[in-house]
Amino acid sequence: MKTFTIGKSFKFDAAHYIPDHPHCGQVHGHTWTVTIELSKKLGILPDTYMLLDFHELTATVENLIEQLDHKNLNHVIDFPTCENLALWFRSRLSAWFPDFEVKVTVQEGTGGFASVS
């Protein structure tokens, strides 16, 4: 068995604040980058020679990003840190793609990032 992985990165712009945080407590914005990786253990690739069509992954992730783009993330997610955003994406994508191991990395601007799998 081999582990096959596909992935794709997406960007969106949104504001947030971290309540009671000395530096991030005021509303401010970022360009966020979300990288999605889907993995599956297989003996061979399916007849399509693809683990999953990128179009299907893109349509699903863009549907989620639509809920966040140009919004105040605090209105959607409690404590919208990179870690919590990664969890938010992963929980939804795991429901859409239950046969895959889902890894999500969220990067805040050009700075730090957090991953969950």
Burial environment of residue 104 by CB neighbours within 10 A (0 to 12, 13 to 18, 19 or more):
buried
* Superfamily designation of domain 2-116: 6-pyruvoyl tetrahydropterin synthase/QueD (3.30.479.10)
Q: For residue 41, what are the CA distances in angstroms to 2, 17, 54, 100, 113?
A: 5, 39, 18, 9, 27
Could you report the per-residue pLDDT of 13-71, keeping only the tens digit for each? Answer: 999 999 999 999 999 999 999 999 999 999 888 788 889 999 999 999 999 999 999 99
Handedness of CA 85, 78, 22, 12 (dihedral sign): positive
In sequence order, the 6+-apart residues with CB closer than 8 A to the CB of 6 are 37, 38, 50, 51, 52, 54, 57
pLDDT higher than 90, residue 84: yes
pLDDT for 63 equals 97
Question: Can you tell me the distance from the alpha carbon of 9 to that of 20, in angstroms, rounded to the nearest whole number?
Answer: 31
